[in-house]
A and B are shown apart, each in its own frame.
Chain A
Amino acid sequence: MKSCLIVDDSKVIRKVARRILEDLSFATDEAADGRDALEHCRQTMPDVILLDWNMPVMSGMEFLSVLRAEQNGKRPVVVFCTTENDMAHIRAAIDAGADEYIMKPFDRDVIEAKLAQVGAL
């Protein structure tokens, strides 16, 4: 079973994403900001990270740059999932090492399609 870390400061978004991902046969964990997510990754690197952009303590972009700089061995698939929906943000995310990009609001079809795009299903 593949694992997915859901990183979002909204409890509601994490709950919705969790239901969808578990329905897609992922084992899920949650983190409420980038720092929580980094600690999680340093202990157990997930296969996939669903990552919000704007979060307190450490943003999604800050998290991603640290993750890509320090990862050794396992390279998780990172899918941004954010309300930022302009090309500048999308390009910045991909340049920073994101594999896919979901613009909120999302539904099951979008998450499934995007994970399929990057071979994460």
Chain B
Amino acid sequence: MTPPDAGFDALASLLRVRAGIELTRAKLYLVESRLGPMARARGFVSASAFLEQLARDGIGDVLATDLVEAMLNNETFFFRDIQPFDMLQQRILPQLREARAASRRIRIWCAASSTGQEPYSVAMLFAEDRSRWDGWTIDIVGTDISRRAIARARSGLYSQFEVQRGLSVHRLMAHFEKAGEHWALSPAIRAMVRFQPINLLGPWALGAPFDVILCRNVLMYLAQDSKQDILARIHRNLSPDGRLVLGAAETVLGVSDAFVPDRQNRGLYLPVSGFQPPAFARAG
């Protein structure tokens, strides 16, 4: 059922302001599938009826947060698209091992970590090469706009379905234990990653620059000015010799001058020295 204009417009406005996401009418089908359960739990027959009432009565802050979280795409899995992880293992991490030999410290940020599979996959790469990284400080940070996703990531608990997507049986045996109906990630891997809720549109407080930032399958959902703003701030939070990894369907070309594509590795971007962010870029 198609939501009436007022309800849809209220939701679209909420997503644009809070998450920078452009909800077009071509994605109307998502509204019913993602908000339907929430609507029915509140006694409405459909998402459209729910939104209609919200448009009339207004949307409180808590409910607004729930609505945005319900509309987000949390799709992720371990070692998703494998190529970025091969690239990390075979090129980026060996280069960083040489470049950071003095400090023996590497910082990696997964900027939209959803339920944690991406940063935990990165942690597994280090754990599986433990002897080479002995004595190093590996700081992996996972952030996401969804507090619910962050809570799940911190739990380190995954379903049977989730551990079969992208994880080899050898990695399952090495890093997980069965915990009732779930699979629990080992304390050693969990301890390598810390999570914090961060809305990429808002301020970031992330500390020292990162050596690698993975921001995959996020920018594709955002409006052009949000992309430009986020890329400018990623540039500021990345070491001059750091690396940015975007999703396979994303690019900086035509969006930002802060990065240039690496010629040899699809999805890898290098920060441009002397890049001046546009005047509207916010702090953080």
| Residues in A lying within 8 Å of B, measured CB to CB | 85-87, 90-91, 94, 98, 100-103, 106, 109-110, 113-114, 117
Contacts and interface: CB of A to CB of B under 8 A. Distances in A.
Given A90-B169, A94-B170, A94-B173, A103 B178 contact: no
Closest 4 CB pairs of A and B: A101-B169, A117-B168, A110-B164, A100-B169
B172 interface: yes
B165 A94 contact: no
A102 B169 CA distance: 8
Contacts, number: 33
B177 interface: yes
A40 to B, nearest CB: 24
Contacts of A100: 168-169
B160 A85 contact: yes
A114 B177 CA distance: 19
Given A114-B164, A117-B169, 8 more contacts: A87-B173, A90-B172, A94-B170, A101-B169, A103-B164, A106-B164, A113-B164, A113-B166
A86 B170 CA distance: 14
A107 B170 CA distance: 20
Interface of B: 160-161, 164-166, 168-170, 172-173, 177-178
B165 A109 contact: yes
Contacts of A114: 164, 169
Nearest to A94: B169
29 contacts: A85-B160, A85-B178, A86-B178, A87-B173, A87-B177, A87-B178, A90-B172, A90-B173, A91-B173, A94-B169, A94-B170, A94-B173, A100-B168, A100-B169, A101-B169, A101-B172, A102-B164, A103-B164, A106-B164, A109-B165, A110-B161, A110-B164, A113-B164, A113-B165, A113-B166, A114-B164, A114-B169, A117-B168, A117-B169
Contacts of B178: 85-87
Contacts of B170: 94
A64 B168 CA distance: 20
Contacts of A87: 173, 177-178
B168 A103 contact: no
B165 to A, nearest CB: 6
Contacts of B165: 109-110, 113
Nearest to B172: A90
A91 B177 CA distance: 12
A86 B166 CA distance: 18
Nearest to A93: B169
A114 B164 CA distance: 8
B172 to A, nearest CB: 7
Most chain-A CB neighbours within 10 Å: which of B165, B168, B173? B168
A114 to B, nearest CB: 7
B145 to A, nearest CB: 26
Contacts of A103: 160, 164
A106 B164 CA distance: 9
Contacts of A85: 160, 178
A110 B161 CA distance: 8
A42 to B, nearest CB: 27
Nearest to A101: B169
Contacts of B164: 102-103, 106, 110, 113-114
